[in-house]
């Protein structure tokens, strides 16, 4: 019988705090921004969400991997997180669609993970002190914590890069063959956003994030959608494209990072949240109707609502911290939301907003 590998795991935060545990996934050492997600389900979708690029993800739900891994849940072709921190990893998943275990999947994709961590204490620290940079190491040998403490002082903040360029597509791709035609600026788009549009009969033409507006218009789209994605919106190369789109007047919608990019293109400002919104239960008020919706979110930056230029108004507001959750133009066909109306995972309460965008396109087209 072969030797059983016992992996050690250590997470060291930039302030020197150490969390020890048992390693799983790949034997590797990685660094990134340490963030937490409080969702009870949807770990596969989160792991493959390009918005987590450059981040070490902490999952607060105590048992992860219990229904295995199914490719039908992927939001992109491969895991996009840098590292994974959980309380307990299920080694014997039970679900009819499971294709492999979480451990084997992360190993195949060279993503290290650590379990047996007090994720409650770690999350509390990040909530109180804010997201931090960190180093995660998984090894079969003893880990030198002092070396990691010295290294963590010099790691790069991924938010100083344009992360959208690192996750965007390399070519122009077309999905569906219906009408109207929506041009999508891929800042790190989730597959479910494209699927939602195609399911409603829309044809989607997806462009790399740095595609100039003139190039986008060569395809004669009826509307423009700016997708979700990772990092600081001020670093994103799509701002100029979106500014040109607003000047042109094409019906435009933004989702998540797209909300922030449209704000910057319109002349508003953005800022970094203390620990972000990464969950499936964020309550948001529709300022038009006063109705509250429970939403799925994954973002670390937000729009400064005080900086909205003339003609724009807040559309949605987060009940928990009063941060901006969307904006809409008072006269022109421009709208955006900070949450994910396509859900996946999470509540589907706001899927009607995608239909509203399509109706807006058809109205201006006719």
As given in the structure block, the two tokens for residue 100 are 């492999």
**For this structure, is 277 an active site residue?**
no
Of 175, 259, 174, 275, which is closest to residue 225 (Cα–Cα)?
Answer: 259
As given in the structure block, the two tokens for residue 347 are 């509540």
**For this structure, is 340 an active site residue?**
yes
CA pair distance 338, 303, nearest whole angstrom: 9
* Element (DSSP H or E) covering residue 28: strand 28-37
**For this structure, is 292 an active site residue?**
no
Kindly provide the b/e burial profile for residues 302-316, where b requires at least 16 CB atoms within 10 angstroms of the residue's own CB: bbebebbeeebebbb
Q: Which residues are paired to 83 by β-bridges? A: 56
In the set 89, 187, 256, 284, the catalytic residue is 256
- Axis-axis angle for helices 352-365, 191-199 (nearest 10): 60
3-state secondary structure of 347: coil
CA pair distance 199, 191, nearest whole angstrom: 12
Of 317, 185, 186, 307, which is closest to residue 246 (Cα–Cα)?
Answer: 185
Q: Which residue has the tokens 């290294």?
A: 151
Of 83, 68, 123, which is closest to residue 279 (Cα–Cα)?
Answer: 123
- Phi then psi dihedrals of residue 354, to 5 deg: -65, -40
- Phi then psi dihedrals of residue 319, to 5 deg: -70, -35
As given in the structure block, the two tokens for residue 364 are 């201006």
| Upper half-sphere CA count for residue 117 (Cβ side, 13 Å) | 33
CB 304 within 8 A of CB 269: yes
Active-site residue set: 256, 340, 342
């Amino acid at each position: 019988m072969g030797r059983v590998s016992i992996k050690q795991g250590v997470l060291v935060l930039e302030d020197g705090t150490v969390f020890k545990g048992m390693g799983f996934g790949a034997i590797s050492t990685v660094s990134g921004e340490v963030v937490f997600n409080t969702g009870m389900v949807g770990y596969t979708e989160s792991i493959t969400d390009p918005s987590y690029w450059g981040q070490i993800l902490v999952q607060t739900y105590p048992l992860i991997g219990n229904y295995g891994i199914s490719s039908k849940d992927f939001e992109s072709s491969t895991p996009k997180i840098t590292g994974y921190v959980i309380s307990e990893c299920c080694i014997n998943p039970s679900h009819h669609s499971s294709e492999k275990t979480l451990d084997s999947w992360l190993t195949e994709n060279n993503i290290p993970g650590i379990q047996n961590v007090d994720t409650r204490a770690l999350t509390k620290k990040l909530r109180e002190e804010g997201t931090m940079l960190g180093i995660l190491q998984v090894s079969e040998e003893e880990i030198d914590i002092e070396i990691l403490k010295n290294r963590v002082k010099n790691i790069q903040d991924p938010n100083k890069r344009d992360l959208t360029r690192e996750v965007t597509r390399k070519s122009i791709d077309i999905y569906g063959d219906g009408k109207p035609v929506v041009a999508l600026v891929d800042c790190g788009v989730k597959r479910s956003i494209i699927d939602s549009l195609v399911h409603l009969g829309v044809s989607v033409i997806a462009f790399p994030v740095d595609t100039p507006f003139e190039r986008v218009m060569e395809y004669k789209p009826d509307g423009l959608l700016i997708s979700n994605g990772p990092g600081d919106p001020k670093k994103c190369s799509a701002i100029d494209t979106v500014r040109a789109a607003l000047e042109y007047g094409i019906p435009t919608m933004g989702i998540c990072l797209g909300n922030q990019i449209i704000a910057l293109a319109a002349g508003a400002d953005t800022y970094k949240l203390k620990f972000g919104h990464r969950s499936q239960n964020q309550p948001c008020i529709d300022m038009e109707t006063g109705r509250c919706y429970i939403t799925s979110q994954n973002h670390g930056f937000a729009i400064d609502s005080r900086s909205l230029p003339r003609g724009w108004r807040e559309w949605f507001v987060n009940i928990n911290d009063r941060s901006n959750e969307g904006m809409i133009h008072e006269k022109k066909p421009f709208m955006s939301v900070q949450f994910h109306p396509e859900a996946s995972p999470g509540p589907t309460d706001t899927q009607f907003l995608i239909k509203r965008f399509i109706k807006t396109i058809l109205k201006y087209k006719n």
